[in-house]
Structure 1
Amino acid sequence: MKSKAEIRQNVINLLKNFDIDEKKRQTGEILTDLTQSKIWQKSHKIALYMPMTMEFDLRKLFDSSVKNDKMKKKEILIPKTLSNHQMIFVKYDSADLERSDFGMLEPKNCQEEIPDLIVVPGLAWNEVGFRIGFGGGYYDRYLSHFSGATVSVAYDFQRIDFVNEAHDKAVQQVFTGRK
């Protein structure tokens, strides 16, 4: 079985070379499934991540947060990294963003909010919801003390068989592209 590092690099390569039309198709299907799900419908404070170019594109959820019925009464939160590989979630405000040391957009504000639902990023997920992320451990640390709902969104090739490690935290549901 491949190591996490090998899986991580393989999936990064697949993401970088993913066909644009197929990516758009799967993204649309997955976001529709997510926003129509019971877990989404009953959540009010939803933590999203600011996607890097190759990651699953959540921008439609940010763009539609004001005008879309699926987003009514939803407050969008995004992560802010802190020292010691810790993070908090802060209310999303497109006018209050800055680049972190990692080059990611994150809020300048430090007013912590607690989400009902976290859309957890990653590179690969196994059948029971464990994931391989980018290796920083921020989400696993946060999830170890989080009692709300967790989901992830993944393209069909990001479902991979691997054995999780003891410190890994599974998400409750992975929304994946249909074949």
Structure 2
Amino acid sequence: MADKHLIREKVLRNLNTIDKVEHRERSIKLAEKLFLLPEWNQAKVIGITLARHPEIETEAIILQAKKEGKTVLIPKTFYPSRKMEFKKMDSSHPLTKTKFGILEPHELAETVDKDAIDLLIVPGVVFNKAHFRIGFGGGFYDRFLADFKGETVSLCLYEQQIEFTPESHDKPVSILIEG
């Protein structure tokens, strides 16, 4: 069994070969499947990342959530603890760029308790049939999901589906939307 690092590298290389227009269209189709889920329709508070290519695009999901009056939360990460919390995405606090080039909420944005999150849209690089994921290697979501009680969903392209054996600390997502 190849290790997570090698599997992640291979899948990222494959994702980077997908034409950006095609990637965007496929991301939107996955989002449309998400919007049909009862878990989406019942959720009032959504946790989601601000995706960067080659991740599944999240802009359409964020716009739809706002249109439907849902509260949108985005993660703020902390080093060296590798912990993460979710903050309200609002126009009064501009996003800030981390040293890794990721947009995150401003320090002053309101933090929301994880128990208040109805639906967490979990990013990942690789997914297996049992809904386990390999992320980008930071372990932020693994730590956050350890005691998260809400619904979790991930969106993935078929290029991201590879069988692998999860580690003991890994937590599967509840729902995997494939396309």
Structure-2-length-normalised TM-score = 0.90
2: distance between equivalents of 1:130 and 1:138?
15
Measured against aligned partners, the alpha-carbon deviations of 1:62-109 in whole angstroms (never above 9, x if no partner) come to: 234444xxxx13111000012300010001125520011222100113
Three-state SS of the structure 1 residue aligned to 2:86 is strand
Contact 1:80–1:107 under 8 Å retained in 2: yes
Three-state SS of the structure 1 residue aligned to 2:96 is strand
Aligned to 1:161: 163
Aligned to 1:37: 37
2: distance between equivalents of 1:50 and 1:22?
19
Aligned to 1:171: 173
2: distance between equivalents of 1:150 and 1:13?
26
Give the CA RMSD over aligned residues: 1.5
Aligned counterpart for 2:100 among listed residues 83, 86, 102: 102
Three-state SS of the structure 2 residue aligned to 1:150 is strand
Task: State the 1:150 CA deviation.
Answer: 0.4
Aligned to 1:11: 11
Q: 1:96 to 1:63 in 2, by over 3 A?
A: same
2: distance between equivalents of 1:155 and 1:54?
11
Aligned to 2:61: 61
Measured against aligned partners, the alpha-carbon deviations of 1:11-35 in whole angstroms (never above 9, x if no partner) come to: 1101111133432332222111101
Task: State the 1:117 CA deviation.
Answer: 0.8
Once superposed, which parts of structure 1, at least 4 consecutive aligned residues long, lie more than 6 Å away? none
Unmatched 5+ stretches in structure 2: none
2: distance between equivalents of 1:64 and 1:141?
28
Letter matched to residue 35 of structure 2: T
2: distance between equivalents of 1:41 and 1:176?
19
Aligned to 1:132: 134
Task: State the 1:110 CA deviation.
Answer: 4.9
Unmatched 5+ stretches in structure 1: none
Q: 1:172 to 1:66 in 2, by over 3 A?
A: closer
| Amino-acid identity (%) | 36
Measured against aligned partners, the alpha-carbon deviations of 1:138-176 in whole angstroms (never above 9, x if no partner) come to: 001011111000000111111110000001111001111
Aligned to 1:91: 88
2: distance between equivalents of 1:116 and 1:12?
29
1:143 partnered with 2:145: yes
Aligned to 2:72: 76
2: distance between equivalents of 1:19 and 1:98?
28
Q: 1:3 to 1:38 in 2, by over 3 A?
A: same
